[in-house]
């Protein structure tokens, strides 16, 4: 019998951080909830990061995930933007870690390849596959769809991650 695992996927961003929660039982996945945590553009970076922290804190405590998956940041050509995105990603990593949850990280290409079958799929292709894989999902934004894709990627790869971790210990 396969255990039921509640997974929170996070797609970090400074303006909008997408989040999506699924339940995985073996190869079966089902939609729970999704949305975005937003920060106000006119505020200081510190205040915007606090808004992301507080929003993700509420999501973690409202949906009680067993595990969390966060999309890794791709290298941006603009160093300033990359730094800000990295700070938002730090919030996405630390909030679940502070709640005592295991946090896995996945490259964007692996997420897309897992969900769409192509590592360089565009956002519309990801959204379309989310509607196919999770027909009850009501994704109002590409960020929420991307977060659900991260959660699905984790559901598909978590067994292999556990096996590799066991091999390192043993």
146 belongs to the catalytic site: no
The Cα–Cα gap between 21 and 35 comes to 9
71 belongs to the catalytic site: yes
The residues, any chain, with a CB within 8 Å of residue 31's CB and separated by 6 or more, are 22, 134, 135, 136, 137, 148
Question: Is 10 in contact with 149 (CB distance < 8 Å)?
Answer: no
Catalytic, out of 47, 102, 122, 143: 143
Q: Between 142-169 and 108-115, two packed helices, what is the crossing angle to 10 degrees?
A: 100
11 belongs to the catalytic site: yes
C-alpha 142, offset from chain centre: 12
Catalytic, out of 67, 71, 122, 146: 71
Count, residues in the chain? 170
Show which residues are catalytic.
Answer: 11, 71, 143
């Amino acid at each position: 019998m396969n255990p039921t695992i509640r997974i929170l996927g996070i797609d970090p961003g400074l303006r909008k951080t997408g989040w999506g929660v699924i339940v995985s039982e073996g190869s079966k996945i089902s939609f729970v909830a999704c949305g975005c945590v937003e920060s106000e553009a006119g505020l200081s970076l510190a205040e915007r990061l606090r808004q992301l922290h507080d929003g993700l804190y509420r999501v973690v405590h409202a949906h009680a995930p067993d595990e969390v998956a966060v999309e890794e940041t791709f290298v941006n050509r603009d160093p300033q933007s990359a730094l800000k995105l990295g700070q938002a990603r730090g919030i996405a990593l630390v909030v679940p870690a502070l709640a005592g949850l295991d946090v896995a990280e996945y490259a964007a290409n692996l997420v897309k390849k897992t969900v769409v079958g192509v590592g360089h799929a565009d956002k519309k292709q990801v959204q379309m596959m989310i509607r196919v894989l999770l027909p009850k999902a009501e994704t109002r934004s590409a960020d929420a769809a991307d977060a659900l894709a991260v959660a699905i990627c984790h559901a598909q790869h978590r067994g292999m991650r556990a096996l590799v971790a066991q091999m390192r210990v043993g």
